[in-house]
Chain A
Amino acid sequence: MDEVLVEVKRLRKYYFLQRGLFSRRNAVVKAVDGVNLVIRKGETLGLVGESGCGKSTLGRLILRLEDPDEGEVRFEGRDILHLQAEEIRKLRRDIQIIFQDPYSSLNPRRRIDAIIGEPLVIHGVAKGRELEEKVIELMKVVGLRPEQRFLYPHQFSGGQRQRIGIARALALQPKLIIADEPVSSLDVSIQAQIVNLLLDLQSEYRLTYLFISHDLNLIEYVSDWVAVMYLGKIVEYAKQEVIYERPIHPYSEALFSATPSLDPLEKSRRILLEGDVPSPINPPSGCRFHTRCPLRIDLCEKEEPQLKERPNGSLVACHVR
């Protein structure tokens, strides 16, 4: 099971903001800044972090919805950043995405059969009678009734819409699915239904997931590996059971402790961080977490820590621990 599907090396993506018409000093958003990652076949990598940390951008870079400024993305060993147009088209069949918002990610003017069937049409996989059969089959797989294919998105609830998005992502039998906050806009009782569906599909089709979420309980439940991002960098990367047993990076530790427990008697051991998440525009020097870190030393401000392997096998970027 240790076959590598995706390997990301030194990936970097900056966005340049123009500050004003005559301003020559442009601001730089360092959305993803030197990320290394490995996703293994058939496994789930959970990517956690707070808003603006670059986790969605990272997903989009792997999908090549955006082009990185630097670095490598290897998919099944092939460098996907230097492909011909035709090869990119083929690659798109292997990597699909499920978006957070099931309202804005479905075209309101198109019927469900057209939405689910669109990838099949674009890639010339099926047409006519065969296309219809494929759409019906996909709808059954995600738990929709075939006769619902003549309806439009507004006739469905949020959970059902997310099922439509999942059917569309599955249409081309991808190897990797990037699930970007796939349940965070749904009600709790519906979230569980969608999570179970994603797990069922994974074991049935041996899918690999990059599961992006800010919900740490959910990430613990679905992931084999977990990466914690902070302001464009991975600060900790470890097996799920290892990181949940004991997060090492002070940011991971604070993040995990901040998740409210369902037991009212459990003594709160919350570590309260000072201040807000700094802006990714011109982020702090050295270790980006040093402005909020309770353990900071002088070195943290000056030198950026690199990811280093620890005795328990996790990779952590921290000078102090």
Chain B
Amino acid sequence: MKVSLLEIKNLKTYFFTRKGVVKAVDGVDLKIAEGETVGLVGESGCGKTVTALSIMRLIPEPMGRIVEGKILFNGIDLVRASEKEMQKIRGNRISMVFQEPMTSLNPVFKVGLQIAEAIELHQGVSAKEAWERAIEMLRMVGIPSPESRVNDYPHQMSGGMRQRVMIAMALSCHPRLMIADEPTTALDVTIQAQILDLIQRLKEQVRSSILLITHNLGVVAEVAQHVGVMYAGHIVEYGDVISLFRNPKHPYTLGLFQSIPQKRRTKKRDRLRVIPGTVPDLLGLPMGCKFQDRCSHAFKKCREESPQLIEIEHDHQVRCWLYG
């Protein structure tokens, strides 16, 4: 068993709106070991991004707040860390790559400056040296002629290039953990393949862990060692990638796999299996299991009591009453 780099325990992040309390993350447990990639999947509004923002302590207060739980990173509880401590961790020990590389880069500064800024701030080197390191980072992420591209503004680059710049920035301080929130969603498939390949190679080189947030199960299968499936603020299934993908247990996970077209239709009448209904409104969640309304197996207990995450086989946990 590898040492955990990050351990999230019973994390609850709520948003207090005028319409009521939105329990975006409602009791999440997650471990990330040294050097591993963990995929966090789920549909929009399931709480995967809020989980990431909680780790970075970027929840917009006072509307949102971490109300309970621990996020242990190298032994430090990030939930209780001071803002000053967080500033040393953010962008340095833990960094983040966002989905939209156009909106997360500053349009009025050269990309080189934006990378160098992080290096200068966290590593305490001179501006000139930081600039040199920025060029080195651009070369590492495979940008051709980095000596001249370092002077580009974000709009002069393609989407794939900008995402490479984001990754260069995220890795510039050799973080222990990189959180990548839908890093390839805005990109074309051939470019997505390049970026996934890059992330994999750099992870080995820099030896950091990755938390990969995505709605694309194929991307997770390709790069992650462990997967957590989220639904309505909970992790409903967690396991090593092979046993979870080969043998999904939770009715929601199963439904997700079945609703993705995986082969051609042999008959004209063939249809995809669907999960009925829609993602529940986080303001009016039902008692008991959050998936009950869309689940074909739901019985009395599901409506009364919330199931816990239980281990059903080695390294594979499910939150469902079907399994006891």
**Chain A contacts to B: CB under 8 angstroms:** 50-51, 157, 159, 187-193, 195-196, 199-200, 203, 214, 216-218, 220-222, 240-241, 244, 254-255, 257-265, 268, 270, 272-273, 275-277
Contacts and interface: CB of A to CB of B under 8 A. Distances in A.
Contact of B242 (A188, A261, A265, A272): A265
B215 A187 contact: yes
Given A51-B188, A260-B218, A196 B43 contact: no
B193 A192 contact: no
A50 B188 contact: yes
A189 B256 contact: yes
Contacts of B271: 196, 199-200
Interface string B35-65: 0000000011000000000000000000000
B260 A262 contact: yes
Instruction: List the 3 shortest-distance A-B pairs measured between CB atoms, nearest first.
Output: A260-B218, A221-B261, A192-B259
B274 interface: yes
19 contacts: A157-B278, A188-B215, A189-B255, A189-B274, A190-B278, A193-B274, A195-B261, A203-B268, A214-B188, A220-B263, A222-B261, A222-B265, A255-B189, A258-B189, A260-B222, A262-B257, A263-B245, A270-B193, A272-B193
Nearest to B243: A264
B141 interface: no
A276 B160 contact: yes
Given A188-B256, A214-B188, A196 B274 contact: yes
Nearest to A216: B189
A261 B221 contact: yes
A255 B189 CA distance: 7
B192 interface: yes
A20 to B, nearest CB: 17
B217 interface: yes
Contacts of B256: 188-189
A318 to B, nearest CB: 17
Interface residues of B, number: 46
Contact of A189 (B242, B245, B275): B275
B241 interface: yes
Nearest to B240: A264
B279 interface: yes
A29 to B, nearest CB: 16
Nearest to A160: B278
Nearest to B194: A272
Contacts of B265: 221-222
Contact of B272 (A195, A273, A277): A195
Contacts of B218: 259-262
A187 B279 contact: yes
Contact of A214 (B189, B259, B268, B272): B189
A240 B221 contact: no
Contacts of A193: 274
Given A258-B189, A273-B190, A264 B242 contact: yes
Given A51-B188, A260-B218, A276 B272 contact: no
Interface in B230-280: 241-242, 245-246, 255-265, 268-269, 271-275, 278-279
B221 A264 contact: yes
A65 B275 CA distance: 36
B278 A50 contact: no
B10 interface: no
Given A187-B43, A187-B44, A192-B272, A262 B261 contact: no
A254 B193 CA distance: 10
Contact of B260 (A51, A203, A217, A263): A217
A264 B193 contact: no
B261 A189 contact: no
B4 interface: no
Nearest to A270: B193
B161 A276 contact: yes
B190 A255 contact: yes
A196 B279 contact: no
Contacts of A214: 188-189
Nearest to B223: A260
Residue among B197, B261, B278 with the highest chain A CB neighbour number at 10 A: B261
Nearest to B224: A264
Contacts of B246: 263-265
B189 A192 contact: no
B259 A189 contact: yes
A254 B194 CA distance: 11
Given A260-B216, A264-B241, A277-B188, 16 more contacts: A187-B279, A189-B43, A192-B260, A196-B272, A203-B269, A216-B189, A217-B261, A220-B264, A221-B264, A222-B261, A255-B189, A260-B219, A262-B221, A263-B221, A272-B194, A275-B144
Nearest to B252: A189
Contact of B189 (A190, A259, A275): A259
B298 interface: no
Nearest to B44: A187
A220 B43 contact: no
A47 B105 CA distance: 33
Contacts of A255: 189-190
A270 B189 CA distance: 11
A258 B190 contact: yes
B156 interface: no
Interface in B132-152: 144
Contacts of A220: 261, 263-264
Residue among B43, B190, B193, B264 with the highest chain A CB neighbour number at 10 A: B190
Given A196-B271, A218-B261, A258 B215 contact: no
Contacts of A191: 259
A56 to B, nearest CB: 14
A188 B278 CA distance: 11
A270 to B, nearest CB: 5
Contacts of B278: 157, 159, 189-190
A272 B194 CA distance: 6
